Chain A
């Protein structure tokens, strides 16, 4: 089997991730941050370790400014619904995933102004276009670091500079870049960073969060939920300090143990090695697919300008059929359709038919890429032969 749906959820995971989850359940298992017994303390320490490694990989200012949650969708919702007030203005881009666009469209109904900066048909965003949309009431620029449809990277640091110059906050969705491309909260001037554990950070599903930079006061963000935090329990009011203000309810501690192992594994392998390997595979895949008659490959077609995602279509065959046949006949698993990103597909000209998306990971090999190219070549020949 060749698994190429890593842009949705990475698989396989490094073996240390599974071990860490099992070890947590077998040997710790208790509730983190609640009670004072040995196992509760060890559970709390395990979650704290997750904060430390996540802070390290993103160069976050402080492990306690990391708010853990289920995934990046929750993180983006916390940030967008928590920060934007009626009359505020937010700028986003036209390659965004529904996890960004849907909360923004909801906020629009509540009196928040939303500008969508148009990206080109390769998914590239020009930072000057963001600058041109700034208004006196612009509070936030909310942007994905890399497209989940074509992998095109956004020049985050340049956008960060523009935001700082104009006194605007920058929210970056790192769903597709975290763990496979350098993200540095300080250097890139990111104020709010959403991440998810189950993609290229190699953690399990049900892990993710929002990192709140030091330019944002916790009081500026309204919590999505209130509840038990294990702290200041004598008060009926929600605590206002980080991260407890936004972490009501028991965390997915075993998942976070897995996320810790995943991030430690990335740090051990070396992000630059992961990136080089993925550039190599992505380049080979793009080059191979481009040679196939009737095959259109989307995006920049330059592996260095994108993450390890390759979207394509075969003329004369629906993306759904291509995906189904790759699965059934070639044992190649990918994702077809709109990838929860109708706006991005409109931008690259593939709405509503969608594309076939191949999402690679560090675990894929050159041999697998060759087999994929052979498989797509096989399908294209069948189309030709009617």
Chain B
């Protein structure tokens, strides 16, 4: 997941949920990082979870299976 490559931002309720999402993704060997929410996606001041777009489908179904609610998943 290079810094300049396209990525997907997973918007979660709060930083606690971001930490939980990272734990779930990490166990499935999906690389992720908590980053500030891009301003054009939300005016919230918190963090979101950045993943490689290639992992998006797998990540979404995994997080869904753990009942982790998302406010959205945006390809950047």
Residue numbers of A with Cβ under 8 A of B are 32-37, 40-41, 44-45, 47-48, 51, 63-64, 229-234, 239, 241, 243-244
Mostly helix, strand, loop or mixed at chain A's interface?
loop
Question: Once bound together, how far apart are the Cα atoms of A63 and B47, in whole Å?
Answer: 19
**1/0 per residue B25-59: CB within 8 Å of A?**
00000000011110000111111000000000000
Annotate B1-33 by CB proximity to A: 1 below 8 A, 0 otherwise: 000000000000111111110000000000000
A41, B46: Cβ atoms closer than 8 Å: no
| Interface size band for B | 10 to 19
Tell me whether B15 and A41 are in contact (CB under 8 A): yes
Which residues of A lie under 8 Å from residue B36 when comparing CB positions? 35-37
Q: A35-B36, A36-B34, A36-B37 given as contacts; is B45 within 8 A of A44 (CB)?
A: no
Q: Give 19 A-B pairs besides A34-B45, A48-B16, A230-B46 with Cβ atoms closer than 8 angstroms.
A: A33-B46, A34-B15, A34-B46, A35-B36, A35-B45, A35-B46, A36-B36, A36-B37, A36-B47, A41-B15, A44-B15, A44-B18, A48-B19, A64-B20, A230-B45, A232-B14, A233-B44, A233-B46, A241-B14
List chain B positions with a Cβ less than 8 A from chain A. 13-20, 34-37, 42-47, 69
| A37 CA to B18 CA, complexed, in Å | 14
Given known contacts A36-B34, A230-B14, A44 and B19 CB-to-CB distance under 8 angstroms: yes
CA distance A64 to B68 in the complex (A): 11
Contact present for A239 and B16 (CB under 8 Å): no
Q: Interface centre among B20, B34, B46, by most A CB within 10 Å?
A: B46
The one of A35, A37, A64, A233 that contacts B16, using a Cβ cutoff of 8 Å: A64
Q: Are A231 and B19 in contact (CB under 8 A)?
A: no
29 A-B pairs, CB-CB below 8 angstroms?
Answer: A33-B15, A33-B46, A34-B15, A34-B45, A35-B45, A35-B46, A36-B34, A36-B36, A36-B37, A36-B47, A37-B36, A41-B34, A41-B47, A44-B16, A44-B18, A44-B19, A48-B16, A48-B20, A64-B16, A64-B17, A229-B14, A230-B45, A230-B46, A231-B46, A232-B44, A233-B43, A239-B13, A241-B69, A243-B16
